[in-house]
Amino acid sequence: MKNEIIINSWNKINTSDTAHRRILGNIINNVHTGKKKKSYWKIIMPVAACMAVVLVSILTIPGPGEPGEPIVVGVGESLQHPWDFAMQGNAPSGSDAREQALEASPPLQPMYALTLNELYPPVEPRMFIPGHFSHDVTPRQLQAILPDLGFPITGTVSYYRSDYRDDALFDIIIYETQGGYIARFNEVFIRTTIRIAPRPIFTCAIIEYESEISYVSGIPVTAGVFDRMSDWAGDTALYIAYFEMDSVFYRIQLYDYTQGDSGLNRLTEIVNTIILNGAAYLTVLDNPVIPELRDDRMTIEEARLDPDFGAYLPTYVPEGFSPDEARRTIDQHFNGIFAHWHMMGEMNSISWNVSLAEAHDLANVVSINEPQKFDLSLYSVPLADTVPDEYMQFVTNPVFLAEELTFEAVQSRNLYGRGSSRLNFGVLFGDIAINISVMDVSPEQVWDMILSIKR
């Protein structure tokens, strides 16, 4: 991989033979190899909902150079090549101009290697954010937040109600768009996600170990990979990097395939590009428009009394499940109730969200006479290999018309088809949508919950 990166960079340079020899000598002098020591570390979950300790070990992966030692290559499209400076002013033309530009201009930006720590998959804590609301990030704001990463992005910025103001910045989440997806399990994940915040980012992965830290232009970076997704996604890996720069906190998360080094290379380039271009200007996100908001925490019984959506909560809940708090929420994207039940000490869970139907709900409506759009027994995992592209959005999250829904349709959503189960689908009652997601709850129990709705 080291040679490949050098060759790719070398092929971009068009200079005289003298300049070629000089650059080659610099590369040889600056790049070296050596053994990385192995150490062991653990991840501790700090949030009560995910207090578990897991052990991780350093996975030594060949990089383009030792961590903290740069290889001289270009980083992203936002950085200029030296000969670009030859186009400014009255510079000579041809190879002489390029050679003089190389001598007079700053060197190419360095690409610092990352060492990946082997880890178990991080678990995101469930958070209640008082007064939460969000806005799409505008193109002008994106330019101030991130440099050009070489792929199209979009994003949302979240705010909350603090003790001092109603529009305190919580975080910014940037997503890769236009084909930036990786299929995993019965879901399609966004390939690259970048979270930026003015404070440490909430996560269940706090490091307390003898870790391997990489340094990018002096900034410490902790990077990790989880590449043991299990049989149904054995070819997929999750890469994560954390760092802080000028009191701005970053987390880069991306999915890639385990074969080859493309995931490590992509993570390395993104981290280098962000750090070498400087911290985000978060002040461009000040003074947002505050929309109508409501976010009330309540018991399940109180939620059932809500005049708009309470009647669509089930009165039957399988034995052994305890109710969590419900939330009555209004923001720009959701008007409804979140309700959740869990089985103490187990992974069994029920999420039942009732809201006004949104455009995405209506777009995913399927007919009971089109089993190819919802019946998981017709396909095998990974679904990306067996589901036709035109059916993927329906198969991953179909919405049934209430008057058409049958027990057989519910049963067809059982991903495992055996003792344990995982079901997700929606039901449309006029302009009210119910989105159901359960873990280790049988299709029969889910069907009984639907039948218990007193609307």
Please tell me whether residues 136 and 226 are part of one structural domain: yes
Same domain, 181 and 264: yes
Over residues 12-23, mean pLDDT: 45
Query: Nearest 10 degrees: CA dihedral of 314, 439, 184, 137?
Result: 50
**Residue 250 pLDDT exceeds 90:** yes
pLDDT (0 to 100) of residue 34: 31
378 assigned to some structural domain:
yes
**Stretch 98-126: mean pLDDT:** 63
Angle CA 277–283–288, to nearest 5: 135
Q: Is residue 220 part of a domain?
A: yes
Q: Are residues 305 and 243 in the same domain?
A: no
The predicted structure's pLDDT at residue 257 = 77
- Does residue 298 sit in the same domain as residue 391? yes
262 and 204 within one domain: yes
Is residue 325 assigned to a domain? yes
Residue 401, pLDDT score? 97
Residue 307, in any domain of the structure: yes
Describe the strand order of the beta sheet including 53-57 as a list of residue ranges. 53-57, 40-44, 206-207
Count of domains in the chain?
2
Give the list of residues 6+ apart from residue 164 with CB closer than 8 angstroms, or none. none
> Looking at residues 144-163, what average pLDDT do you find?
88
Q: Which two tokens stand for residue 233?
A: 């996604």
Amino acid (one-letter) located at 225: V
For 121-235, list the strands marked E by DSSP.
133-136, 153-160, 168-176, 181-184, 187-190, 192-197, 206-207, 214-216, 219-226
Of 266, 285, 304, which marks where a domain is finished?
285
Same domain membership, residue 305 and residue 239: no
**What gap in Å lies between CA 232 and CA 382, rounded to an integer?**
6
Q: Are residues 279 and 336 in the same domain?
A: no
Residue carrying the six token digits 């979270």: 195
Residue with tokens 């991080």: 122
147/211 same-domain check:
yes
Look at residue 421 and tell me whether its pLDDT is greater than 80. no
Same domain for 277 and 307, yes or no, is no
- The verdict on 125 and 218 lying in the same domain is yes
Q: Is 286 exposed, middle or buried (0-12, 13-18, 19+ CB in 10 A)?
A: exposed
| Domain end point (choices 253, 285, 317) | 285
Asked if pLDDT for residue 255 goes beyond 80, the answer is yes
What's the pLDDT score for residue 202? 67
Per the structure, the complete domain to which residue 396 belongs is given by 294-451
More reliable by pLDDT, 116 or 57: 116
In terms of domains, do 195 and 248 share one?
Answer: yes
> Which residues are bridge partners to 192 per DSSP?
254
Domain end, chosen from 230, 262, 285, is at: 285
402 & 377 share domain: yes
Report the Cα 111 to chain-centroid distance in Å.
24
The confidence score (pLDDT) of residue 131 equals 75
Question: Which residues lie closer than 8 Å to 195 by C-beta, 6 or more apart?
Answer: 171, 172, 173, 174, 201, 250, 251, 253
More confident residue, 223 or 102: 223
